[in-house]
Amino acid sequence: MAYVENGQGRGWSRTEIWLPALLLGLAGLGWWWSMVSAAGMRGDPMPMDGESTTPLAAFLVAWVAMMAAMMLPAVLPVVGRYVRTAAGSAVAAVLFVVGYLAVWSAVGIPAFVVSNRLNPIMHSCPWGGRAAGAVAVVAGLHQLTRFKTVCLHHCRRPMLSSGGSREHANGRAAAILAGGRYGIYCLGSCWMLMVLLIAFGTMQLGWMLALSVVIWLEKVAPFGDQLGRLTAATLIVLGVALLVHPMFVARLIS
């Protein structure tokens, strides 16, 4: 395995150089696709009503692009750690990412169903604003739960291989399973934020960007726990405001 000196007494494997660049490129492609989709659908990219529905395949393509845009930047530090655990194996590292994205892609199917149910409420029912407010309050409360704390802990410091053996980390099935397990913990950490995103418009770019920054900082920043509590308070206040003034939701999803 070829290494490049990093100036800190340890060489970087070439996989540690090109794989993050590839993931950032895929994230950029995901943002581009999301912007194109949002612009093409005029601010309501997933119009779901009784007479017009987005096909499942189209929704899943948009969902995977959105997940790549939002999640790949936050997973970069863990991918780098996994590359080192796997002795620089490019195949193992790529399969780890595949397992991680497979979890988020699979969530696209229930997200499609939820979007089918929520969007008509959000855009046509007079109490849609209060429904959005309830989702925001629940999302805020979720930020304060023990479940969130445990999942976020594993999302920050995953067990990348059983027993830490390189043989295990290099196994193809093990790499996919490790990525999938990591994806499940990260999903547990921020699944309510995804529900919130669906409630306010599945591909509203402003919400995508805001939640992406929150998810990334929660994972990597030293003040991640404090940010989580601040996010909880913000969402609860927003939710209560929508419960009191439901028409305000029109400004949030426009």
Q: What percent of the chain has pLDDT over 90?
A: 23
| Of 195, 242, 192, 253, nearest in space to 218 by CA | 192
Sorting pLDDT into bands at 50, 70 and 90, what band is 120? low
Q: What is the DSSP string of 68-116?
A: HHHHHHHHHHHHHHHHHHTTT-HHHHHHHHHHHHHHHHHTHHHHHHHHH
- The one-letter amino acid code at 150 reads V
Task: Confirm if 97 and 79 have CB atoms less than 8 A apart.
Answer: yes
**Cβ neighbours of residue 251 closer than 8 Å, sequence gap 6 or more:** none
pLDDT at residue 131, rounded to an integer: 82
CA 82 – CA 178 distance, rounded (Å): 9
| First and final C-alpha spacing in the chain | 51
pLDDT at residue 162, rounded to an integer: 41
Buried b (16+ CB within 10 A) or exposed e, 96-108: bbebbbebbbebb
Sorting pLDDT into bands at 50, 70 and 90, what band is 123? low
Range of lowest pLDDT (6-10, 209-213, 231-235): 6-10
Sorting pLDDT into bands at 50, 70 and 90, what band is 113? confident
Residue identified by tokens 């929508």 is 242
Q: How does pLDDT run across 26-59, given as a tens digit for each residue?
A: 888 887 877 777 666 544 444 444 444 567 777 8
DSSP state of 247: G
pLDDT at 1 over 50: no
Sorting pLDDT into bands at 50, 70 and 90, what band is 236? very high
Mean of per-residue pLDDT scores for the chain: 78
pLDDT at 232 over 50: yes
pLDDT at residue 85, rounded to an integer: 74
CA 39 – CA 205 distance, rounded (Å): 10
pLDDT at residue 200, rounded to an integer: 78
**Cβ neighbours of residue 54 closer than 8 Å, sequence gap 6 or more:** 46, 47, 48
CA atoms in the 13 A half-sphere facing the CB of 131: 17
Residue 12 Cα distances to 80, 84, 220, angstroms:
10, 9, 21
Sorting pLDDT into bands at 50, 70 and 90, what band is 8? very low
Q: How does pLDDT run across 143-192, given as a tens digit for each residue?
A: 999 999 999 999 888 866 543 444 444 578 888 998 999 999 999 999 99
